[in-house]
Structure 1
Amino acid sequence: MGKKIKCIIVDDEPLARNVLENYADQIEQLEVVAVCTNAVEAFGHIQKENIDLVFLDIKMPKINGLELLESLNPSPLVVFTTAYREFAIKAFELDAIDYLLKPISLGRFMKTVAKANKYLTGNPPTLQHEAQIQENTKNNQTETESDLLYIKAQRKVVKLDLSNILYLESLNDKVIIHNANQAVTTTQRIGYLAEKLPSKQFIRIHRSFIVSVEKVTAFNSIMVEVNGKELPIGRNYRSQALTILQDRSR
């Protein structure tokens, strides 16, 4: 076996980190130097250690994965691991070697490691980055027909389909995620969850409420109606919320 590939895993979701770390442990060629929960922590490891490869989430609080890669010069090889397809072209522009859509299979992960090894041994693939990333994104679509949100609830990590979420309600020290058929309660803050939710699908209308734009059936200047329930629009959120809702209703 050749030289070990020193890698780090960067993702703020515990379940996603665990999956990637488990996959890496099964590949003898990989040496996981660090598992990071945010971009700042990863930046420190990259500056101090000789890292060959980074498995990097995109949507993270404060500094996202794209911003981290833009700050590195030179940078290790980077593979983006994300639930969002829309950043694929930007990833290409930043010279990422691959783009993995969650949920990531072990077989797909192994192909990426093989590709990284080709780059590190001076024999990179002959296809252009953009064609590779677009094809990889297309190939992974069957695995991610619905965008997902992972939350901590009742001492475990729960996977939620974003298309089923009606609205989120902050109540005391908890957040209740109201779905079409059930409600899930988490102790994670509503501000944190707001950063994880795609802004095109969800809008914050109040310090205590985030709603799915698609699930809004009626609205005026002070409230929105979701699933027959009226939710208040807070003064600090009114302008942005009404702009989005009015644009959608045209």
Structure 2
Amino acid sequence: MDKTITCIIVDDEPLARKVLTKYASQMDNLEVVAVCSNAVEAFCHLQKGNIDLVFLDIKMPKINGLELLESLNPVPLVVFTTAYREFAVKAFELDAIDYLLKPISLGRFMKTIAKVNKFLTGNHVVGMVEGQLQPKDPISKLNPEPELLYIKSQRKTVKLDLSEILYLESLNDKVTIHTSDGEIQTAQRIGSLEEKLPKTKFLRIHRSFIVALDKITAFNTIMTEVNGKELPIGRNYRSHVMTILQDNPL
């Protein structure tokens, strides 16, 4: 059985609080220690510590969920619960472990708890004290490697699975993301996108190119080959790139 996870629910809508509390009660390893109607109330509970997970609404009066999260140190795992899609990019920039859109189904809630269980029972957990999960570093719990990348493209936010990305190419103030299914263009800067990509999976090889390490099929000191295309290695990047590639054999 998975270890007990202590959580709080923060939402200004009574119905939303009721639904989340009901769902949580059906999870064997989830213990709701507080249900809060606003961010200030939640902040007081979080200052007491011993909270592993927060279900956090975004649009709330006075202090919204994003502002609350930015004020916390250390921080627990956070699952945002909201009716608004437009906050997804910001939520994942803050390293939320999941983003649930209302109305939330029990099946989707269970999927989130499975993700939380998988994360908390990984290398970040070192033992149990009085029945509570003890992380090595509370802040590090909010920094799992992302599985998705959210891209602003043509007035929409596009969700990309990182495993589908071949490489990113910057040209004329646009970045083209080459994937196994085609291309996506965005006005986001390549440097900004680089910050969102896990360094264990992606490598900046040139001022205009970032490649997926597992998609590289060949390389030498001046180029890498991805999907049959030769991509140049910039002179200023060469030393670092060769170190990484030589440590990660094909």
If the TM-score is normalised by the length of the shorter chain, which range does it land in?
0.5 to 0.7
Question: Which amino acid is the alignment partner of residue 201 of structure 2?
Answer: Q
Per-residue CA deviation, residues 155-204 of structure 1 (Å, 9 max, x unaligned), is 01000010000000001110000001200000000000000000000000
CA distance in 2: counterparts of 1:229 and 1:7, whole angstroms: 53
Does the Cα contact within 8 Å between 2:166 and 2:215 map onto a contact in 1? Answer: yes
Partner of 1:151 in structure 2? 151
CA distance in 1: counterparts of 2:96 and 2:193, whole angstroms: 22
1:5 equivalent in alignment to 2:38: yes
1:184 equivalent in alignment to 2:184: yes
The correspondence of residues 227-242 of structure 1 with structure 2, limited to 5 A, is: 227-242=227-242
Partner of 2:210 in structure 1? 210
5+ residue gaps, structure 2: 1-13, 15-34, 42-54, 81-94, 114-129
The structure whose residues are more often helix, as a share, is 1
Deviation, 1:31, is: 4.7
1:128 equivalent in alignment to 2:132: yes
- Aligned partner of residue 181 in structure 2, secondary structure: coil
CA distance in 1: counterparts of 2:58 and 2:188, whole angstroms: 28
The structure whose residues are more often strand, as a share, is 2
Identity between Structure 1 and Structure 2 (%): 46
Deviation, 1:5, is: 3.2
Work out which of the residue numbers 33, 54, 65 in structure 1 matches 2:63: 33
1:102 equivalent in alignment to 2:132: no
CA distance in 1: counterparts of 2:232 and 2:162, whole angstroms: 22
Per-residue CA deviation, residues 115-160 of structure 1 (Å, 9 max, x unaligned), is xxxxxxxxxxx631338x9xxx9xxx9xx9x810001001010000
- Aligned partner of residue 152 in structure 1, secondary structure: strand
Residues 181 and 78 (structure 1), Cα distance of their counterparts in 2 relative to 1, 3 Å cut: closer
CA distance in 2: counterparts of 1:154 and 1:188, whole angstroms: 11
5+ residue gaps, structure 1: 9-19, 37-41, 43-53, 57-64, 71-76, 83-98, 113-125
Q: How many residues align structurally?
A: 164
Moved over 6 A (4+): none
Does the Cα contact within 8 Å between 1:166 and 1:215 map onto a contact in 2? Answer: yes
CA distance in 2: counterparts of 1:3 and 1:220, whole angstroms: 57
RMSD: 4.1
